[in-house]
């Protein structure tokens, strides 16, 4: 059974610092891994999707890496801004259609 863990559960940084969010999964037989952002009252927004054959994906200030052999993914957010404050969730997809979500990291970027 796949288990996805995100540490730390919460993170507070001053504006301008780079953010590093960690995600680990127990079953390396994944098809892809997605990172989402969840804002209060607004559901989830897909940020990046990394296929199992890929090592990283980049979108603007966001970069996500994937190391299947070690069961880890990392989301980097460069030059953080107060608008980056949200909860970030990673989710691993194995065979079938089920996404297994981590518990999330709640991020606060202080001006």
Partner 1 sequence: SAVISQKPSRDICQRGTSLTIQCQVDSQVTMMFWYRQQPGQSLTLIATANQGSEATYESGFVIDKFPISRPNLTFSTLTVSNMSPEDSSIYLCSGKGLAGVPQETQYFGPGTRLLVL
Phi, psi dihedrals of residue 64, rounded to the nearest 5°: -120, 135
Task: Find the part of the chain contacting partner 1 (CB under 8 A) among 15-23, 34-42, 66-74, 77-85.
Answer: 34-42
Q: Is 22 in the site for partner 1 (CB under 8 A)?
A: no
**Block residue for tokens 């037989």:** 29
Among residues 12, 51, 58, 81, which is the contact residue for partner 1, using CB under 8 A?
Answer: 51
Among residues 14, 43, 83, 111, which is the contact residue for partner 1, using CB under 8 A?
Answer: 43
**Block residue for tokens 């098809």:** 31
Residue 66 in tokens: 């994937």
Q: Is 99 in the site for partner 1 (CB under 8 A)?
A: yes
- DSSP secondary structure string for all residues of 37-71: EE-TTS-EEEEEEEETT-SEEEETTEEEEEETTTT
**Block residue for tokens 């952002």:** 37
Q: Is 102 in the site for partner 1 (CB under 8 A)?
A: yes
Residue 84 in tokens: 């980056």
Q: Is 31 in the site for partner 1 (CB under 8 A)?
A: yes
Q: Is 41 in the site for partner 1 (CB under 8 A)?
A: yes
Q: Is 71 in the site for partner 1 (CB under 8 A)?
A: no
Q: By C-beta, is 6 or 80 nearer to partner 1? A: 6
């Amino acid at each position: 059974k796949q288990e996805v863990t995100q540490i730390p559960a919460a993170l507070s940084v001053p504006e301008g610092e780079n953010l590093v969010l960690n995600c680990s999964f127990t079953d390396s037989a994944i098809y892809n891994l997605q990172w989402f952002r969840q804002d209060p009252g607004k559901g989830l927004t897909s940020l990046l999707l990394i296929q199992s054959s890929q090592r990283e994906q980049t979108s603007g200030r966001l970069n996500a890496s994937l190391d299947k052999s070690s069961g880890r993914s990392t989301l980097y957010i460069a030059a953080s801004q107060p608008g980056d404050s949200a909860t970030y969730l990673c989710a691993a997809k194995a065979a079938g259609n089920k996404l297994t979500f981590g518990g999330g990291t709640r991020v606060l970027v202080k001006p």
